[in-house]
Amino acid sequence: CNYTQVYNSTYDEYVDVDEDYTIRLHDKLNLIVEEPVEVLPSTSSAPLPATPLSAVSLPTLCTGLATAYTLPEPTIDLKEMIAKAEKGKVSNQLRHRIIRWLHADLCKYDLYPAKRDLYSEAARHLVFRYRQLGDLPGCGIGSWKEALKNRTKNQRKRMADIREVAEEWAKWAKVARSPSRTTARGLTQHRFATTLPSYAIGEDEASIEAHTEFLKKEMRKPAETRNQAMIMDAMNRTFSKRREWILEEPRTVDDVLEMYPALDLKEEVLTECFRITGIHVEVEVPKFFESKGDKVQHVLNMVKVVQAASDELVEAV
């Protein structure tokens, strides 16, 4: 398939744009031509299309490569960029190139690589061959694994008409709506906006922007055709950045709805309250009034009495 990238001066590289993007007069364009790949169904019993590698005498958790995954050969220019990279100083441009390269390869195995732990395998093989690309903490593969996962999820949003993707989203939507799941989480999870990082693990400015643009595009669709599960997923991923954006300066309701139109939905407002407080408002508020309703009414009555007395005093004076 073919698609067009537009040069972004902020990132100093060409970036993907939404299909609704209007090309401007002085935009610099980059046409990407990708050859179609045959995707193996996730339920297939066929072996992975690679020859297993022999085990190596290194700790299995971090660097063991006794798997059926084989790292593809990078293009000449990418190989040169990797060779120049320094440990702990991988540029965003190089990182994006590598993630695109590995993601295209993973699609040859499965549309859902996590089912066979291929995110971890691809990250391990990458860092094992190119040690300078490893993360400084831990085993060195964490950020690569999360970035691959996010790239794959973002690309699957464009595949809603593929049966395997549609079926998986239907399953997740059913689980997300399950009362037992939400109630259990509501009783034990608490979140505080003041301690949230700008980005969730594996997310960056580009991926957050992609999630935000997806939300705007999805909310422009008729209500009956929107993918609610994908909207919820994107809202979860943009939560940290959304809270930071709202708190950095005063925002009007119109500002918030323009940036995050999904918050115009009752379900998303309730879910956002839970993201912030860890409390299910639709459950806890009625419960509060059931147990404290009489006291609340008594306080309100007292306020009316005090107000009436105050009015009489003002008139007397």
Average pLDDT per 10 consecutive residues for the chain, totaling 317 residues: 65 62 76 52 41 32 52 87 86 88 86 80 88 78 83 75 70 62 44 48 76 90 88 88 85 90 90 84 79 81 80 74
Query: How far apart (Å, rounded) are the C-alpha atoms in residues 245 and 198?
Result: 9
CA 153 to chain centroid = 8
Query: How far apart (Å, rounded) are the C-alpha atoms in residues 213 and 256?
Result: 14
pLDDT value, residue 185 = 43
CA 256 to chain centroid = 19
End-to-end C-alpha distance for the chain, whole angstroms: 83
Q: Return phi, psi of residue 123, to 5°.
A: -65, -40
pLDDT value, residue 34 = 53
pLDDT value, residue 315 = 76
Query: How far apart (Å, rounded) are the C-alpha atoms in residues 139 and 63?
Result: 8
